[in-house]
Structure 1
């Protein structure tokens, strides 16, 4: 990632969209899927956004250190979900227009 200026800029662009994630999780997300737009857990997509993760979608593995023993937790990009009928809504993705 830090091998060239272009790689670093690409990482920063991705990290800017993942501002709610700590640096170590941003790095893991970027290493697995550098072109993500917005990530959330399965529970967040289902319960808060009323979106369902597409069958066969591959999660992005993160290390969950909140429990006694570290374990993997998974997040999914917005490109991996679809809205639920009637009650679902398309996620709003913010952007800054300069």
Structure 2
């Protein structure tokens, strides 16, 4: 039977341009994903540290005004809770000393 060959020619330039565009899009999506993850991490960090520190600031202001009767839930990390407990203990001791004096 007849035999033959068919050659198909397609330049590689459009394929290479398309591949380069796809690589750029993938890099852009990865960068966007990393930025979103970083922002989310900062948000979580601020909720766990900044908010409890603000609660401690309010507590020290109450102590300065002589109003520290209620218990506050500062939340956050363990060290901040320990600081709050130490502050509360200090207040109780100051009040006890004040009552003894007068």
The higher-RCO structure (CA 8 Å, 6+ apart) is: 1
Q: Which has the higher strand share?
A: 1
Fold shared per TM-score above 0.5 = no
State the TM-score, normalizing by the size of structure 1.
0.25
Q: Which has the higher helix share?
A: 2
| Greater Rg over alpha carbons, structure | 2
State the TM-score, normalizing by the size of structure 2.
0.25
